[in-house]
Amino acid sequence: MGLSEIISVQNARVKLWVQLLGRKGRDKLGQYIIEGTHLVEEAVKANAPVKTIVYDLDKGLPNALYQATQDHVEWIGVSPQVLAKCSDTETPQGIMAILDKPENTPTDLLSAKNALVVVVDGVQDPGNLGTIIRSSDAVGATGVLLGKGTVDLYNPKTIRSTMGSLFHLPIISGDLLEWLPKAAAHGVQVIGTSLQATASCYDMDYTKPTWLVLGNEGQGMSAEVENLVTQPIIIPMQGQAESLNVAMAGTVLLFEASRQRISHRQ
């Protein structure tokens, strides 16, 4: 595709992009924005559905990226004022991209062989969700299932905190009250942390198909979701801290699962 330019913040395209800064606009248009060289390069590398790349005319065209994408991505040079209008950050990095939201369903997670899925029940902090996604990516998890009440995956703060990991594995929204029973019926062990549990997380066999449920920062899992957990566990503490941050707890469980699965293959 050729190059085009937009200078005015009153341009109709710019007004559409601004809508993508809010969840309502993202849901309505089925698209979202990513900002910064690293995220745009990660999206392109992962063959994510990048529709348009927008760059700062004052900083110039990033030639290597342009050469890699020019056949199938629209490129638009814009004024710094346009980038600032569409940015969630105080100092825009000079490049952003507009992507289509992927159309996955939780059925894709059920059909995965020997699944390791992270289930998120009401985590509300973008940084926590981003860390959970990065840890899931790091251990090669099958995917992430986001339940109701969880912060929007496409919130700009969430996107930044994933550091590009959202492009590396399926992240799907679904009703946990529907999909946890379906997972259990497929022979999946549904594991969730509970301060009332007696079984240690280190006594579990994570080489089996496993869904790990992580609850809200303050309240933990909702009562309805907790009732659907087939194996409640606790992370043993040697020191005096009562509990771990939800993203830290998820990371502990994921790397224990990864350790067991690596040992099992050897």
Q: Are strands 95-100 and 31-35 parallel, antiparallel or unpaired?
A: antiparallel
What stretch of H or E contains 72? none
Strands of the 74-78 sheet, one edge to the other: 3-6, 74-78, 50-56, 95-100, 31-35
pTM of the entire predicted model? 0.93
Domain range summary for the chain, segments of one domain joined by +: 3-100, 107-265
Place of tokens 């909702």: 222
Query: How far is residue 133 from each of residues 22, 168, 199, 230, measured CA to CA in Å?
Result: 21, 10, 25, 23
Architecture in CATH for domain 107-265 = 3-Layer(aba) Sandwich (3.40)
Place of tokens 């550091």: 163
Q: Is domain 3-100 classified as CATH 3.30.1330.30? A: yes
pLDDT digits (tens), the chain, 266 positions: 568 999 999 999 999 999 999 999 999 999 999 999 999 999 999 999 999 999 999 999 999 899 888 678 999 999 999 999 999 888 888 999 999 999 888 998 988 889 999 999 999 999 999 999 999 999 999 999 999 999 999 999 999 999 999 999 999 999 999 999 999 999 999 999 987 888 999 999 999 999 999 999 988 999 999 999 999 999 998 998 878 899 999 999 999 999 999 998 87
